Amino acid sequence: MSTATLKNAAPFVPEHKTMPLLREAIQNCRGCDLYRNATQAVFGEIRPGSKATTSQKAEIMMIGEQPGDQEDKQGHPFVGPAGKLLDKCLLQAELDRRKIYVTNAVKHFRWEPRGKLRIHKKPGMREIKACRPWLDAELETVRPKLLVCLGATAAQSILGSKFRITESHGRLQTIQGLPPVVATLHPSAILRAQSDEDRKKSTELFLNDLQKVKQYLEK
């Protein structure tokens, strides 16, 4: 096998896994080519805006797709429009943000230029796989009780390419070696809705799944 097919983040993940060490090390990751055109790697963190103390443990790990334009510039996950919507929905579902660690399946922003704009480009299976060692390092360090995949990219990374959110969203999935997993929509699916009706439907679906997340956690 050539080394090209093996290229991934594993050689860049420190053996001794603490949050500060991981955070530092990921800035030197060359596990795929996405670092070349991004400002910085965006690692996961406990939801900002909460008054989390160091003693607080995250019970839920929410996994998005990849940083967007704002996240790439600011260095924090879900701080742009999708993040604002996520926060609003978490509040509505009464999910305690101090217990939620938010991250992404892919840690660098993939984009294409369009004029002066940087347009989001979906990460491919290659990047999702290459970046998985960072997600594993987060899982090992955070040790959440429940994983929540937001959208198809996160679901692909954790549940495999055959998993369909439209069919199995909101249902508890069991994967060996991982905490229980629930997949639901990505909040940007709500932002992209083409009509009011569409928006209403996807919002309801999302909030309903977040309710289930809350119930699973209370069990």
How far is residue 31's CA from residue 11's CA, in Å, rounded to a whole number?
8
Which does residue 127 bind out of ligand SF4, ligand URA, none, counting CB within 5 to 8 angstroms by kind? Answer: ligand SF4
Shortest spacing between CB 45 and ligand SF4, in angstroms: 15
Of the candidates 216, 195, 186, the residue with the CA atom closest to the CA atom of residue 62: 186
Residues 6+ apart with CB under 8 A from 101: 44, 45, 46, 47, 58, 60, 61, 62, 138, 142, 144
Which does residue 32 bind out of ligand URA, ligand SF4, none, counting CB within 5 to 8 angstroms by kind? Answer: ligand SF4
Which does residue 71 bind out of ligand SF4, ligand URA, none, counting CB within 5 to 8 angstroms by kind? Answer: ligand URA
- Select 106 or 150, whichever has its Cβ closest to ligand SF4: 106
**Interface with ligand SF4: number of residues (CB under 6 A):** 16
Contact status: 13 vs ligand SF4 (CB under 6 A)? no
Question: CB atoms < 10 A from the CB of 194, how many?
Answer: 7
Shortest spacing between CB 149 and ligand URA, in angstroms: 11
Which does residue 78 bind out of ligand SF4, ligand URA, none, counting CB within 5 to 8 angstroms by kind? Answer: ligand URA
List C-alpha distances in Å: 34 to 41, 106, 108, 114: 9, 9, 6, 18
- Select 31 or 68, whichever has its Cβ closest to ligand URA: 68
- The angle formed by the CA atoms of residues 92, 98 and 99, to the nearest 5 degrees, is 90
